[in-house]
A = this chain, B = another copy of it.
């Protein structure tokens, strides 16, 4: 039904509806839970997965259409499922939601009916060649916490649900055929020879398997264990080691020829699990643990109940979590927004076991006291809007858990620094900066309790002063990262400077003036990499000269910038846009330059060699994060109507309620959080500033239920495609003549009321005093 609805929406090309009056009669609006569509983003560049997950769940149980790609060719299969693929290879228990790089796909299970059970996946070009099966989208159901599909090669109905640390499969086999599962410990996202370092599978009894797998993937060394319980007994099994060319095999353990043994270990294991002919559906309940098999077994026991029980519990969790914002908006917008909210609530995932144990960045086992260890920190993305969104819509203990998990990760880190891009407690060193720092500072300044501020500040300073990380030693010495010492130096310099500013802000609030002064100074280091002549942030060499040749449109790996070019990175001084704009020549020049960016003729540019460069509007690249705040920058130049116009341009073209509806990787909720904030009419351009910059709303009305029990409501009059501009704004009935609101104003509850109009209002919030925070002008705020 959901699938049918999506198909209708897509076929009617309702894309333009977002800001177009809805002509058709609106029935009673569907609930948030019924509106969110996990299928959105599973095609195109979204990299989301359609399968079952609980809010922040450790398990993401989802179909993988193909895991046979080799590392450099796997970009499109980062989440395992690709909407355009013709076959499903199986269902695995871990997936990233919208990551660019990838891994996971642990413990793939595939139901097979009949007597011919193949143990290799085969090719999607030739489905009969392996255990994979064809399927039709018409048989799929995807709702938060539930996924179903019919596997046509086996006539098996496959259903998935997930709790916090468990996933539950339910397979309805044809009654007249033998039921089997293929359990493949070799597969994962982003494969290459040697990725599996070791794996084990053990039959504990005829209802239970356990095991572990250690992989060398995105995280250099990662262990994950499982406990798998069947609702009906195994009648037979084979644990097969398919590794070839083993230099040294050691001695023969139990089992020879066709012997059935209770245990197998090796680097290429696959199991055939037999259940005979089944009159009832087979349920397979699987818990995972980064610690050990006992942890997985305990996680399994900690969430009792069958498929329907877990499904109902998770549904209730999603209903509550998605109900945090009541949205009145056109149907496509509501679908986009509740789907965005769904995607925003998947990570950071629970990573610690029910007994408090977790595996840290040192690959050792630790135990939390009184909180849940969380991981999947895509911090370069999520510090921008995803984490600020969670602060507003999730209970304080979830936000405190996130901070505590960051801090304990720093304590466990062999380098003594905060996470960069971490999952399951393991560091990948992906992307740049130390953006755990703005997240912690922002949380502290917003009053999140539950962590020790002194300990936090120590961790932040330690991360910002660890010389071997991203050439911080030269940054500290020279005031910028020299490009001849460190790649992507321009991006690093500006991002470090922003992160430093957040340390200064927090230190100042804590009365630690020494630290504040030190880091306020570093917050100005962006100047050292800004070239006044060209007006761009550029990479500088150790000798103080900018590197040449300089092409502001070039995007290359290991270049002067990180996944971008001078166009995107030259705007990244969120701590002091005013100073940047002064350096750029003042408001008029800045507005012209911003216009030039959005209106840039990119028809002759080819960025197909670079991942994650998608969603282009000129040189504005919505599919990747460096651009995310840029449309809001007109506000800082006194031209908020330009922000409003650009936001319409972006929302109209970058989000659709279809599988290929996300223009770029969702990046663990950041793309989605951008849409949610933007649709509400404001955006956290500068986490740590305690301000949200006002754009324009895309909802008729939205009521956000805050964790403190209060409600903040956004109302927009004349919200339709013909009225794209903000005419006036009131906050709690009083005129608001500035282009930002404060965190306190939101947390106090109240109503932000927009009146939209057809023409730009070129007088609202244009004066310097009405503009958002900049360090050089509003430092004491």
Cβ-based interface call for A262 (8 A): yes
Q: Is A129 an interface residue (CB 8 A)?
A: no
Interchain CB contact under 8 A, B364 and A468:
no
Of B220, B259, B265, B485, the residue contacting A250 (CB under 8 A) is: B220
A47 to B219, CA, bound (A): 40
Q: How far is the CB of A198 from chain B (nearest CB, A)?
A: 5
- Stretch of A152-160, A189-197, A300-308 contacting B (4+ beta carbons < 8 Å): A189-197
B194 touches A428 (CB 8 A): no
List residues 202-258 of chain A with CB under 8 A from any CB of chain B.
202-203, 212, 214, 216-221, 247-248, 250-256
A250-B220, A254-B466, A416-B262 in contact; A198/B200 too (CB < 8 A)?
Answer: no
Task: Tell me, in angstroms, the Cα distance from A253 to B262 when the chains sit together.
Answer: 40
Partner of A261 from the list B202, B251, B468 (CB cut-off 8 Å) is B468
Query: Which residues of chain B are within 8 angstroms of A218 by Cβ–Cβ distance?
Result: 250-251
In the bound complex, CA of A219 to CA of B265 (Å): 11
Question: Does residue A596 face the partner (Cβ distance < 8 Å to B)?
Answer: no
In Å, the complex CA distance between A414 and B264 comes to: 9
- Give chain B residues whose Cβ lies under 8 Å from the Cβ of A253: 415, 427, 429
Q: Which of B212, B254, B421 contacts A469 (CB 8 A)?
A: B254
Number of copies: 2
Q: Is A390 an interface residue when CB atoms closer than 8 A count as contact?
A: no
What B residues does A365 contact at CB under 8 A? Answer: 292
Chain B residues whose C-beta falls within 8 Å of the C-beta of A192 in the assembled complex: 247-248
Complex contact A254–B202 (CB within 8 A): no
**Interface presence of A471 (CB below 8 A):** yes
A252 to B432, CA, bound (A): 11
Query: Does A271 lie at the interface of the complex (its beta carbon under 8 Å from any beta carbon of B)?
Result: no
How many interface residues does chain A have, given as a range?
35 or more
User: Distance (Å) between the CB of A105 and the closest chain B CB?
Assistant: 15
Please pick, from B71, B220, B254, B266, the residue contacting A220 in the complex, using a CB distance under 8 A. Answer: B266
A214 and B220 alpha carbons, distance in the complex (Å): 14
Is A294 interfacial (CB 8 A cutoff)? Answer: yes
Contacting residue for A247 out of B71, B252, B471, CB 8 A: B71
* Residues of chain B lying within 8 A (CB to CB) of residue A362: 202, 263, 293
Closest to A219 in B: B250
When chains A and B are docked, how far (Å) is the Cα of A212 from the Cα of B485? 32
Q: Is B248 touching A195 in the complex (CB atoms < 8 A)?
A: yes
Q: Is the CB of A265 within 8 A of B221?
A: yes
> Is the pair B430, A263 in contact by a Cβ cutoff of 8 Å?
no
Q: Who on chain B is nearest to A255 by CB?
A: B468
Q: Which of A192, A254, A416, A421 lies at the interface centre, i.e. has the most chain B CB atoms within 10 A of its CB? A: A254
Instruction: Tell me the chain A residues, 716-748 only, with Cβ under 8 Å from chain B.
Output: none
Taken together as a complex, chains A and B put the C-alpha atoms of A544 and B465 apart, in Å, by 78
Question: CA A293 – CA B202 in complex, angstroms?
Answer: 26
Q: Which residues of B contact A190 (CB under 8 A)?
A: 248
Contact B429 A250 (CB under 8 A): yes
Q: Does A260 contact B (CB under 8 A)?
A: yes
A466 to B262, CA, bound (A): 11
Distance in Å: Cβ of A118 to nearest Cβ of chain B: 24
Complex CA gap A421/B430 in Å reads 44
Quick one: closest B residue to A266, CB to CB? B220
The answer to the question of A363 belonging to the interface, with a C-beta cut-off of 8 Å to chain B, is yes
Q: Assuming A365-B292, A471-B256, is B262 touching A415 (CB within 8 A)?
A: yes
Chain B nearest CB from A433 CB (Å) reads 13
Is B254 touching A468 in the complex (CB atoms < 8 A)? yes
Contact yes or no, A364 B292, CB < 8 A: yes
Q: Is A486 an interface position by the 8 A CB rule?
A: yes
- Using Cβ atoms and an 8 Å threshold, which residues of chain B touch A471? 256
A265 to B219 alpha-carbon distance, docked (Å):
11
Q: In angstroms, how far is the closest chain B Cβ from the Cβ of A748?
A: 42
A263 touches B194 (CB 8 A): no
A293 touches B254 (CB 8 A): no
Partner of A256, one of B71, B193, B486: B486
Report A272 CB to chain B, min CB distance, Å.
17
Closest to A218 in B: B250
Residues of B near A266 (CB, < 8 A) are 220
On whether the beta carbons of A414 and B293 are closer than 8 Å, the reply is: no
Instruction: Return the chain B residue nearest A245 by Cβ.
Output: B194
Can you name 19 A-B residue pairings with CB atoms under 8 Å? A71-B248, A190-B248, A192-B248, A193-B247, A195-B247, A202-B362, A221-B265, A251-B421, A251-B430, A253-B429, A254-B429, A254-B468, A254-B469, A261-B415, A262-B415, A262-B416, A263-B415, A265-B363, A292-B364
Known: A194-B247, A263-B414. 11 other contacts (CB 8 A): A192-B248, A195-B247, A200-B363, A220-B265, A251-B429, A253-B429, A254-B415, A254-B417, A254-B468, A259-B467, A263-B362
